[in-house]
Every structure is written in structure tokens, then in C-alpha cells.
């Protein structure tokens, strides 16, 4: 069980995401998880061993390290990545639930269902509308909240994003104020700023995706209100165009049937 | 053999679970297994090396560490994850038994061997009760072994061969405490999910039974 397993789980959600969602997932895996595993973990690997205090007093180093680093950057990032990835599971569960319903319809021999076999149902991509829209939008909203909370926690805990070279510590049992030196402060600062920058990019992507979904929602609503006066065939042509633009396949057997019959 | 084995095992269980059961599997994967492997393991990696006592007496550090940490938090956590995931296998075995029976008799004995009814319902309920019991048992064990869920910065030790009461310092106590609380929180969440699922299944099948009897009486 590792980040690879997370990739498998989220990869399934990718199919049903918007284009911005797919970009977000790519940024998450390449610029955050991969960087964390391949580079950042090694930079912070020896953080306590190489945290040196100018005293021979046993225990002073431990206590000072614990005082300045209540929770290590690397662990905070790992938690941030896990929390930020979790809302996508809501979408995965919703899709799985819809697929389960389709399979039940198919098994009952519902003739309205357009699928020929179970394989088609398994491979189907769902359109983001109806209740799935709400689930998807909530997941993006939660993602934003988690990103913001963790960025604030970072800023609050470490007084900014810079790693100082020297920290002065006078926690007991240190006999007086001692100088403690952090290992690789510049490299750690560079990686911290990098991770914060990529976090900000992910926040922007999420905001953009949210705006896109809201715009689509209001456009669809105004079209439905307008189209109740227009001819149904014209409405279908416009919807088909929208389908091609968004590259999402219709998911509702019933919607298709009603659309054609009206 | 690694955590991937447990992950594959649980993916198999997912097929025969209710909706709440699937949420439970997701919580175990994301918030317990992944957090353990990606973050928690590294915190406790060098806990013995970084445990420091204010004394040069050989053997004193070893003896004190052993006294305060009979079983390390991280090992207990791993044991808890394994024990808590295992009862779900009872359901998988029962379904496999049903499928085997069908093959043996060469006829369809069950509408759907994976559907939770009859004997499989009992097995499922037993697995839920076992899971909940084990979660609570491990939480109590954690609490009793370490006098609560706090990890102090300093512990005082006077076991032989330490010549007197020495100060011993635990490494990264705050970080360890944060993850310990996280473990307790996720455990409690899993207990709530298990109890919820138990209640839901009992309620659902009681209603079914009641309706069946009602229909029979009407006939």
C-alpha cells in the first residue's frame, strides 16, 4: 500500500472528470506526490540526526527539536496530499453507485436500457449532471478547503515558509539559551516554496474548475428555460454539440429516450 | 508480503459489502493504511536510537526504553490494522463456500451467492461484531499500556543498571502524539461506521421479516 495504490484509485475517477480535473490530477501526481517521494523525503530524511545543538547536555537536542518541529514538513505534506485526494473518492463512490443501478436495470431486462452487455456498463463514462454534479462540485469545494487549511497550518506553525539556519532554544533541560542548527536549511526552503507554489496552482485549478461547472450549470438552466418554447429537435442538436465540446458521453438512458420521443 | 497483500484482500471484501461497508474500506485504506505507510512509519523509525538518557552507564538506556515501550506504538498500530481487517475474510470464505456448493451439486442453489441473506447475513453480522470488538480492544490496550494517549517529552527511570533516577528524553513526542490522536480518531470513526452498518442490517432484515409474516397472514 503506497502512493501507487492511490494512483490506481484516483485513476478511475479521472475518466469522469472535466479537462481541468484531469490537469489537476496530473499536477498532483507529478509535481507533488512524485516530488515528495523522490526528492523531498530524502532532504528531510536526516532531519533529527543532523539537528545539532551547541551543548553536550543530554536531552536538550531532543527537546529543542520537538519544540521547533511539532510536526515535520514532510509529514504535513503527506497528510495534505491524502486529505486533498480523499474528496475524489466521493465521486468514485457515486459513479460506482450509478453503475450498480445500471447493472440492476440490465439484469432485470429493462428494455429501455441501451447497453448490450455488462462490459459496456463497466466502461461507460458518466456525464457530470444531476446529482453527480452536486457530488463533483462538493468534492472540489472540500479539496479547496483542505488545501487552504493546510497552507495556513504551515504558515502558522513555521512562521512563514522560510527555514532558518539557526534557532535559539532554552527549553528545559537545556542549561541556558543554546544555539541549534538545522540541517540543509536552504534546500528545505527551496522545496517548501516549491510545494507551496504547486499547492497554489492546484487551488487555482480547483477554483477554475468550480467556476466552469457553475457556468455550465447556469447556462444549462437558462437554455432549458429558453428551450421550453423552442422545438425539441433543435434542442437535441444543440445538446449534441455541447456533448462533443465537453467530450462527455450521455449517461441517462431515460433522458435519451425522452429527448428523442418529445 | 507487504501491505499490498492486505489491500488486495480488502478489495475482494469490497465486492460483498454494503454501502457503509465500502465507506469503511475506503476509510481504512486512505486514513489508516496510507497514513501509516506514508507518514507514521518514518516517525517511529529511529525511536530507539533517538531515545536519550542523561547518563553514560552502559545498558541503562536500553533497559529504560524497554521499560517504557514494551511494544512500540507503531507495531501496535500495524497489529491493529491487520486484526481489524481480518474478520471481513469470514464473508469472503462464506461466499466461496456457497459457490463451491453450487459447483459440487451442479445446480443453482442461490439466486446470488454474494447477496447478504440467510447464513451469509449471520456471518456478516459476526464479522462486524468482531471488527468492532477488536477496535475497542486495541484502543483500550493503547490506553492502558501508555497511561492515556499522551507521549511525554521526559520520563524518569531508575531500573538497574541505572545507578539512580535518570532523565530520559523521547524523540519527537509532539509529532507522535498528533499521529496517535489521528489513529484514535480514525479508530472511533471505524467503530461508528461498523455500529451504523450493524444497525442498518438488523433494521433492514427485521422489516423484511415483518413484511413477509404480514403477507403470509394476509394470505
Q: Does A98 touch chain B (CB under 8 A)?
A: no
CATH of the domain at B128: 1.20.1440.80
Tell me the mean pLDDT in the region A246-254. Answer: 43
Does B93 reside within a domain?
yes
Confidence of residue A206 (pLDDT cuts 50, 70, 90): very high
Question: What per-residue confidence (pLDDT) applies to B29?
Answer: 87
For residue B144, the distance in angstroms to the closest alpha carbon of chain A comes to 25
Q: Is A74 on the interface with B (CB under 8 A)?
A: yes
Is residue B3 included in any domain, yes or no? no
Segments forming the whole domain that contains residue B35: 17-218
pLDDT in tens, A6-48: 887 787 777 778 888 888 988 888 888 888 888 888 888 877 8
Q: Nearest-5° angle of CA B177, CA B182, CA B186?
A: 150
B165/chain A closest Cα distance in angstroms:
14
- What is the predicted ipTM? 0.72
Phi/psi at B172 (5° precision): 50, 50
Is the Cβ–Cβ distance between A158 and A174 less than 8 Å? Answer: no
Residue A104 has pLDDT above 60, yes or no: yes
Residues in A closer than 8 angstroms to B6, CB to CB, are 1
Find all residues with CB under 8 Å of A98, minimum gap 6, and list them. Answer: A126, A132, A251
Nearest to B173 among A2, A66, A89 (CB): A66
Q: Is A61 on the interface with B (CB under 8 A)?
A: yes
C-alpha distance from residue A84 to each of A133, A193, B77, B126 (Å): 19, 19, 24, 34
pLDDT digits (tens, 9 = 90+) for B9-45: 788 888 888 889 989 998 998 899 889 988 898 899 8
Give the mean pLDDT of A161-188. 89
Note whether residue B81 is domain-resident.
yes
CB contact under 8 A, A74 and B42: yes
Residue B1 belongs to a domain: no
> What confidence tier does A123 reach under pLDDT thresholds 50, 70, 90?
low
Query: Has residue B9 been placed in a domain?
Result: no
CA B4 to chain centre: 16
Higher pLDDT, A35 or A105: A35
Summarised one tens digit per residue, pLDDT across range B78-100 is: 889 988 988 888 888 888 888 88
C-alpha span between B157 and B163 (Å, rounded): 10
CATH class of domain segment(s) A19-108+126-220: mainly alpha
- The CA distance from B58 to the nearest CA of chain A, in Å, is 15
Any domain includes B8: no
Nearest chain A Cα distance for residue B177, angstroms: 10
Q: What's the pLDDT at A96? A: 82
Report yes or no on B23 lying in a domain: yes
Which is more confident, A50 or A146?
Answer: A146
Q: Do A2 and B38 touch (CB under 8 A)?
A: yes
Residue B189 has pLDDT above 90, yes or no: yes
User: Would you say the pTM of this structure is higher than 0.80?
Assistant: no
Q: Is the Cβ of A59 closer than 8 Å to some Cβ of chain B?
A: yes
Q: How many domains in chain B? A: 1
The alpha-carbon radius of gyration of chain B (Å, integer) is 23
Amino acid at each position: 500500500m503506497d502512493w501507487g495504490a492511490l494512483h490506481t484509485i484516483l485513476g478511475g475517477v479521472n475518466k469522469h472528470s472535466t479537462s481541468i480535473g484531469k490537469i489537476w490530477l496530473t499536477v498532483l501526481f507529478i509535481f507533488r506526490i512524485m516530488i515528495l517521494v523522490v526528492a523531498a523525503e530524502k532532504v528531510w530524511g536526516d532531519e533529527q540526526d543532523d539537528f545539532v545543538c551547541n551543548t553536550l547536555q543530554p536531552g536538550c537536542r531532543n527537546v529543542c527539536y520537538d519544540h521547533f518541529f511539532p510536526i515535520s514538513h514532510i509529514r504535513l505534506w503527506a497528510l495534505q496530499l491524502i486529505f486533498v485526494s480523499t474528496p475524489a473518492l466521493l465521486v468514485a463512490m457515486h459513479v460506482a453507485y450509478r453503475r450498480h443501478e445500471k447493472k440492476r436495470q440490465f439484469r432485470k431486462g429493462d428494455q429501455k436500457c441501451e447497453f448490450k452487455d455488462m462490459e459496456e456498463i463497466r466502461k461507460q463514462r458518466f456525464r457530470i449532471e444531476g446529482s453527480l454534479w452536486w457530488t463533483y462540485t462538493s468534492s472540489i469545494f472540500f479539496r479547496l478547503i483542505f488545501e487552504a487549511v493546510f497552507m495556513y497550518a504551515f504558515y502558522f506553525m513555521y512562521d512563514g515558509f522560510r527555514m532558518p539556519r539557526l534557532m535559539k532554544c532554552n527549553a528545559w533541560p537545556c542549561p541556558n539559551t543554546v544555539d541549534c542548527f538545522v540541517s540543509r536549511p536552504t534546500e528545505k526552503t527551496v522545496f517548501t516554496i516549491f510545494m507551496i507554489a504547486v499547492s497554489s496552482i492546484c487551488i487555482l485549478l480547483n477554483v477554475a474548475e468550480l467556476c466552469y461547472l457553475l457556468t455550465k450549470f447556469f447556462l444549462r438552466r437558462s437554455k432549458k428555460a429558453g428551450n421550453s418554447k423552442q422545438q425539441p429537435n433543435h434542442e437535441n442538436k444543440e445538446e449534441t454539440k455541447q456533448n462533443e465540446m465537453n467530450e462527455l458521453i450521455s449517461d441517462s438512458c431515460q433522458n435519451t429516450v425522452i429527448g428523442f420521443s418529445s | 508480503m507487504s501491505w499490498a497483500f492486505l489491500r488486495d484482500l480488502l478489495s475482494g471484501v469490497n465486492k460483498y459489502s454494503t454501502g457503509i461497508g465500502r465507506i469503511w474500506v475506503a476509510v481504512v485504506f486512505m486514513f489508516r493504511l496510507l497514513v501509516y505507510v506514508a507518514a507514521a512509519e518514518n516517525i517511529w523509525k529511529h525511536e530507539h536510537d533517538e531515545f536519550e538518557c542523561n547518563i553514560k552507564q552502559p545498558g541503562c538506556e536500553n533497559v529504560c526504553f524497554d521499560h517504557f515501550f514494551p511494544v512500540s506504538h507503531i507495531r501496535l498500530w500495524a497489529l491493529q490494522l491487520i486484526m481489524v481487517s481480518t474478520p471481513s475474510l469470514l464473508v469472503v470464505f462464506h461466499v466461496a463456500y456457497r459457490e463451491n456448493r453450487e459447483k459440487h451439486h451442479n445446480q443453482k442453489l442461490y439466486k446470488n451467492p454474494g447477496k447478504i441473506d440467510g447464513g451469509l447475513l449471520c456471518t456478516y453480522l459476526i464479522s462486524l461484531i468482531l471488527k468492532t470488538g477488536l477496535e475497542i480492544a486495541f484502543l483500550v490496550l493503547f490506553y492502558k499500556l501508555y497511561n492515556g494517549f499522551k507521549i511525554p517529552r521526559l520520563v524518569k527511570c531508575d531500573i538497574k543498571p541505572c545507578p539512580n533516577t535518570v532523565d530520559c528524553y523521547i524523540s519527537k513526542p509532539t509529532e507522535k502524539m498528533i499521529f496517535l490522536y489521528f489513529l484514535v480518531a480514525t479508530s472511533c470513526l471505524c467503530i461508528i461506521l461498523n455500529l451504523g452498518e450493524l444497525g442498518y442490517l438488523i433494521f433492514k432484515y427485521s422489516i423484511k421479516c415483518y413484511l413477509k409474516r404480514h403477507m403470509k397472514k394476509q394470505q
